A and B are shown apart, each in its own frame.
Chain A
Amino acid sequence: MTTRLKFIPFVAALVLLVAVGCAKAPQEAIDAAKAELDKATQAQADVWAGSEYQAAKQAMDAAQAEIDAQSQKWIKNYDKATELVNTAKAESTKAADAAVANKEQTRKDAEAAIADADAALQTAQASLKAAPRTKDSKADLELFDNDLKALATTLDDAKAAQGSGDYKKALEQASSAKDKAASINQQLEAAKAKRAGARPVRK
């Protein structure tokens, strides 16, 4: 074997080492995954799709950790990092989609709850107007009147929350106002049944 031929394996090994060692991080895929995660963040996935958003963030963290680990090595291999980045991108897309869907569903639920609460409040207000005012019922009716006024304010708050996109708050406030208005209406109906016939005595 000539001297030249003796060097061939060394040269080949050196070329291989340089090729592998100079492997580059999948920057394009990383940027794409980050963009998807940003999209999820903008869609408030942390609020509307908490578990999906967390999965996306974890995938991104795992990908970043793998990239960092490879970048410290002499012989770099970003194959696994690329897989992890692709997973992060897919999870981020899932989180963004879930956030949009969940937010829209809660918006619709809140809208329905506000309409229900509005109807329950109007029914209770009508019952209050129609309730007989006797000595026995006067104190109750005054309390109910105050309660219904406060409920109307709560309902206004719920509508304001709905307007500002805080659908969870709107849904909870409207549901609560609806239940309370329905309870007052029930009590008014019961009071109607117990109506006292005699005229109150002036004291």
Chain B
Amino acid sequence: MPGKTRLGLVLALLPAALSCTRPPHADLEAGTAAMKRAAESGWTEDGPAVCASAQGLLLHAQAEVRLQSKRWFLARDYDEAIRLARGARADAESCAEHTELIKERTRRRAEAGLRSLEQRIAAATALARQVPDGETIKSDLLQAEITLGEGRASLERGQYERADETMARGMRQVAGALADIRAAFDAFATGPRRSTWRRWALQTIDESRRSGGPAILVDKLRRRLYLLRGGEVEMSYPVDLGIAGTDDKTQAGDEATPEGRYRITEVRGPGQTRYYRALMLDYPNDEDRANFRRLQRTGRIPTRRGIGSNIEIHGKGGRGQDWTQGCVALDNDDIDDLVPRVRVGTSVTIAGTIPDDVTP
């Protein structure tokens, strides 16, 4: 081959040879960007296997490019780097897609979990208000509420896994509190006064059945007032009690709702009571007085203390917590509904709880 022809051939092939040896910058950049996205989405070692593969290929591709770039330009061969970079890019994009999907799923799960936790705390807090001496339970639920706040803080900072874990901790706290609530309810419902409450409830139902008229049963534990007619439940309403909750009233100022069998002595309308409408009760009855005297004799009530009075079923309730000084409070709409259904002389029985076997 003549010299000129040989030179021409070399010059013709040189651009082609050079074009084949370009480093795979585009694939490397795309792969690196995809891995960055995956890292921002919280890719961990436990994440998809394709991520570990992508990272490995990317590292090898970058190393290969650097190695080749150190060689004399005609000796550079980027074929291996190109192969690695292509693989790295494909795996990295798949990894980013996977991790973004996982992150989104975790975010949704944490968000839904925290919403559910909030609802459970609210429900448990409402129940805890009914628990006799439930201060510890309320305090546990406040801790759950604080945990909920911690979870929200994590969620806001994009730490969805942590938010999810915090949510689970809050759920455990609520579950613990609910177990304590159930235990407290059981202990109260099976206490020594159970047979008395059972007898009162049966007498009230029987009286209503025989007369065919109205009677009121108040279940303090369930925070519920049942209006009976002909021995059957005609209506039932949620109620708020005295601040002392399920405690039985023994003296003036103890902020407890009395337990016993009473009658309506007066019906007061708007303008005649501070609490919208009121059904005045004949508290204290003979049994309350006898009990009060016994407690005073045994020194459990100071001699100067009174027995209390003005116990009513009144309006301005519906707050979902015990706030009265011993009265039974209903929502205004409910007292509007109740008042026309009863009259002076209607029997009102207030019990700690009504045993399940006689619950009307």
B276 to chain A, nearest CB (A): 13
Does B332 make an interface contact (CB < 8 A)?
no
What's the interface size class on B, roughly?
A: 35 or more
Determine if A62 and B44 form an interchain contact, defined as CB atoms under 8 angstroms apart.
no
How many A-B Cβ pairs are below 8 Å? 117
Determine if A203 and B311 form an interchain contact, defined as CB atoms under 8 angstroms apart.
yes
Interface string of A61-103 (1 = CB under 8 A from B): 0100010000000000001100110010000000000000000
**In the complex, A147 Cα to B60 Cα: how many Å?**
58
Does A9 make an interface contact (CB < 8 A)?
no
Determine if A62 and B56 form an interchain contact, defined as CB atoms under 8 angstroms apart.
yes
Which of A14-22, A27-35, A134-142 participates in binding chain B? Answer: A134-142
B243 cross-chain contacts in A, Cβ below 8 A: 138-139, 142
Determine if B311 and A51 form an interchain contact, defined as CB atoms under 8 angstroms apart.
no
Does A114 make an interface contact (CB < 8 A)?
no
A176-B153, A203-B255 known; A54+B45 contact, CB < 8 A = yes
Determine if B146 and A201 form an interchain contact, defined as CB atoms under 8 angstroms apart.
no
Point out which of B143, B149, B308, B326 has the most chain A C-beta atoms below 10 A from its C-beta.
B149
**In the complex, A84 Cα to B56 Cα: how many Å?**
10
Does A172 make an interface contact (CB < 8 A)?
yes
| Majority-rule SS of B interface residues | helix
Which of B12-20, B62-70, B189-197, B285-293 participates in binding chain A? Answer: B62-70
Determine if B310 and A175 form an interchain contact, defined as CB atoms under 8 angstroms apart.
no
Determine if B67 and A135 form an interchain contact, defined as CB atoms under 8 angstroms apart.
no
A145 to chain B, nearest CB (A): 12
**Closest chain B residue, CB of each to CB of A200:** B325
A139 cross-chain contacts in B, Cβ below 8 A: 243, 321-323
**In the complex, A140 Cα to B310 Cα: how many Å?**
22
Does A180 make an interface contact (CB < 8 A)?
yes
**Closest chain B residue, CB of each to CB of A157:** B146
Determine if B139 and A203 form an interchain contact, defined as CB atoms under 8 angstroms apart.
no
A79 cross-chain contacts in B, Cβ below 8 A: 67
A135-B324, A143-B138, A146-B139 known; 5 new pairs, CB 8 Å cut-off, are: A80-B64, A150-B139, A151-B142, A172-B153, A203-B310
Chain A residues within 8 Å of B, Cβ to Cβ: 50-52, 54-55, 58-59, 62, 66, 79-80, 83-84, 87, 135-136, 138-140, 142-143, 146-147, 150-151, 154, 168, 171-173, 175-177, 179-180, 198, 200-203
